[in-house]
Amino acid sequence: MSENLKIAIQKSGRLYEGSMKLLKECGIEVSNGNNQLRVQAANFPVEVFFLRDDDIPEYVQDAVADIGFVGENVVTEKNKSVEPIEKLGFGKCRLSIAVPKNGNFRSIADLNEKKIATSYPYILGEFLKEKNINASIHEISGSVEIAPRIGLADAICDLVSSGSTLFTNELKEIETILSSEAVLICNKTLSAEKRVILESLLFRIRSVKKAKNNKYVLLNAPNNKLSTICKLLPGMKSPTILPLAEPGWSSVHSVISESDFWNVIENLKANGAQGILIIPIEKMIV
């Protein structure tokens, strides 16, 4: 019987939606209607396990699952023997040290001999060691942000995304220890057969990610401006140019990356482009 690749994803929480959406965009149908622990995909040789995110690195290390989608923060904290393969582009956050807004602490050096509350004792411990700061770590598993107010700690080390939790609790960030997003981690001794399935999945994931980072652009340009405009549009090979019904004008089609999107659009306009249309790309085969 041929093997399935076992994928561990978060059962519920902040990474659940993103993980399910990514599988769907990769054309993998997984229905978790009955809140099951494990589901076989309908049309791809994978089986999805729904777990607590904290358990995913260990399960992947021990080959209970072959791969997992989990935050880099959890991978680093758990320090298991797994191979990080690919960033997945969702679940972005940072692990930061924060202190009371109106207190006396300005930098991490002020935290010598102080107490820091966190759910990330390993990462924080390594960081303090590296910076030569002798603070004590108080491990708590939830609601870390209230620790200074109730006198449990002088500072906290916790995940931040929008910053509103810190703001509401009158805390301010003084140091970022780690930037994180969801990553695909892999067991280190995957069979050759499973590697083939993983390669096929990675190919799909990369096509989805690439599409998200790029836009399809259509514009009209006078023929005497075409060479300038083409230089602004690198495209996958080179732009496609089609004549318009109106003499002296062409339609130009290309792909531009999200990162320099606004710069390119402004330059295109300044160089005579008109009727610019930007279209999202669903998949981009790399």
- Of all residues in the shown chain, the one whose CB is closest to ligand PRT is 71
- Contacts (CB under 6 A) with ligand PRT, residues 14-43: 14-15
Instruction: With contacts defined by CB under 5 A, name the span among 54-62, 93-101, 175-183, 267-275 that binds Zn ion.
Output: 54-62
CB 14, min distance to ligand PRT, A: 4
Name the strand (E) or helix (H) holding 205.
Answer: helix 192-212
The structure tokens 């990769």 sit at 26
How many C-beta neighbours within 10 Å does residue 191 have? 13
Q: Is 61 in the site for ligand PRT (CB under 6 A)?
A: no
CA distance 106 to 198: 47
Which of the listed partners (ligand PRT, Zn ion, none) does 201 bind, with a CB threshold of 5 to 8 Å by partner kind? none
Out of 79, 81, 161, 223, which residue is the one contacting ligand PRT (CB under 6 A)? 161
Q: Is 88 in the site for ligand PRT (CB under 6 A)?
A: no
Out of 6, 10, 22, 117, which residue is the one contacting ligand PRT (CB under 6 A)? 10
Q: Which residues contact 135 (CB under 8 A, 6 or more apart)?
A: 111, 112, 113, 114, 115, 116, 128, 155
Q: Is 52 in the site for ligand PRT (CB under 6 A)?
A: yes
CB 71 within 8 A of CB 88: no
CA distance 89 to 12: 18
78 vs 204, beta carbon nearer ligand PRT: 78
CB 19, min distance to ligand PRT, A: 10
Q: Is 180 in the site for ligand PRT (CB under 6 A)?
A: yes
CA distance 265 to 124: 43
71 vs 239, beta carbon nearer ligand PRT: 71
Structure tokens at 185: 């981690």
CB 65 within 8 A of CB 6: yes
Structure tokens at 117: 């509350």
Q: Is 13 in the site for ligand PRT (CB under 6 A)?
A: yes
Which of the listed partners (Zn ion, ligand PRT, none) does 158 bind, with a CB threshold of 5 to 8 Å by partner kind? ligand PRT
CA distance 136 to 256: 49
95 vs 273, beta carbon nearer ligand PRT: 95
Q: Is 145 in the site for Zn ion (CB under 5 A)?
A: no
CA distance 282 to 275: 22
* Contact string 84-103 vs Zn ion (x = CB under 5 A): --------------------
Task: Look at phi and psi of residue 150 and say left if phi exceeds 0, alpha if psi is from -120 to 50, else beta.
Answer: alpha
CA distance 264 to 278: 12
Q: Is 158 in the site for ligand PRT (CB under 6 A)?
A: yes
Which residues of the chain form contacts with ligand PRT (CB under 6 A)? 10, 13-15, 52-54, 71, 73-74, 91, 93, 158-165, 180
Which residues of the chain form contacts with Zn ion (CB under 5 A)? 53-54
